[in-house]
Amino acid sequence: MNHLGFKLDKVKVGSFDFTCCEGCQLQLANKESTLPEFLGLIDIRNFREISSERHDDYDIALVEGSITRSDEIERLKAIRAQAKVLVAFGTCACFGGVNSLKNRIPQEEAIREVYDGKKIETMPSMKISDIVEVDLSIPGCPVSKDEVERIMVGIVTRSAVSLPKYPVCVECKQKLNTCLFDLGEICLGPITRAGCDAVCPTGKTACLGCRGPAEDINFPSFEELVLDRKLSISDMKEKLGFYNGFGDYLDHES
């Protein structure tokens, strides 16, 4: 029963991980104060951080991680075929994430550095939407549990769901934080999508853009800001490429 006294049918949810640290799934399993109410809204069919049960019938698939092996492609396609709604869950799924850093060097070199020459099946890291259609993306490294809960409630109740369109700077100013540019650091807050509650800048750590670009950003103005503060364009590019969320801007950046 909900607070209005009528029963909502539970939506069947499966959560799946590919190449990732599983931090986004663990984030969702944390915050025990809201977990019982959240789990009361959905029927967990596959989510190994929460339950040992495994079922193949689910309406919504939460997919965490990037794709780095051929067998992952086939598994992802099977999940897509079953799910009515597929959600790219976290920065690795949405953009490729930290895993995409290996795409900058030859695969053989990456294997040699990490696995000491052992034969390992791997390929360039891809985001989920490179392989299958994605119905909804929830970025973040890790995701914000409050945001995920809000969006899941919206899906279950068939209400409108959306991500903030404005940049992290808005949340930073609401907290009366000192701008990290004033402290001599390059921060991607002016061009990164909000929704994280400016957690990194609040901790005096520059935003690295894990939530990808905000809508209608003025990238040339951001580049001018970096130059005006006599900061490094090379460092700016390195930050932009860290999570692979700003690839379109890097490709067109002079």
Reported as a single tens digit per residue, the pLDDT across 167-213 is: 999 999 999 999 999 999 999 999 999 999 999 999 999 999 999 99
| Interatomic CA distance for residues 249 and 193, integer angstroms | 15
22 lies in the same domain as 133: yes
Q: What pLDDT shows up at residue 252?
A: 55
Q: How confident is the model at residue 8 (pLDDT cuts 50, 70, 90)?
A: low
Residue 104 lies in a domain: yes
CB 207 within 8 A of CB 188: yes
Model-level pTM? 0.88
Boundary (domain end) residue, out of 128, 156, 184: 156
Domain boundary among 156, 188, 216: 156
Query: Looking at the 3D structure of the chain, how many domains does it have?
Result: 2
Contact 31, 56 (CB under 8 A): no
**Mean pLDDT rounded to a whole number for the chain:** 90
Mean pLDDT for 118-133 is 92
Find residue 64's DSSP bridge partners.
Answer: 17
Do residues 64 and 47 touch, judged by C-beta distance below 8 A?
A: no
* Helices of type H across the chain: 23-29, 35-39, 70-82, 91-95, 107-115, 145-156, 168-174, 199-202, 219-228, 233-240, 247-252
pLDDT (0 to 100) of residue 114: 78
Clarify whether residues 21 and 100 are in a common domain. Answer: yes
pLDDT for the residue numbered 6: 47
Residue 29, pLDDT above cutoff 90: no
Residues 179 and 150 in one domain: no
Q: What angle do CA 145, 16, 197 make, to 5 degrees?
A: 20
List the single range of 123-132, 145-154, 233-242 with lowest mean pLDDT.
Answer: 145-154
Q: What is the DSSP string of 48-77?
A: TTT-S-B-S--SEEEEESBB-SHHHHHHHH
State the pLDDT confidence band at 35, using cuts at 50, 70 and 90.
Answer: confident
Domain boundary among 156, 181, 211: 156
Q: What Cα–Cα distance (Å) separates residue 33 from each residue in 11, 39, 88, 146, 150? A: 21, 11, 25, 12, 15
Residues 206 and 129 in one domain: no
- Provide, rounded to the nearest whole percent, the portion of the chain with pLDDT above 70: 95
Same domain, 50 and 139: yes
pLDDT at 251: 66
Q: Are residues 147 and 55 in the same domain?
A: yes
Range of the domain at 177: 168-252
Q: Choose between 217 and 112: higher pLDDT.
A: 217
The pLDDT, as a whole number, for residue 216 is 92
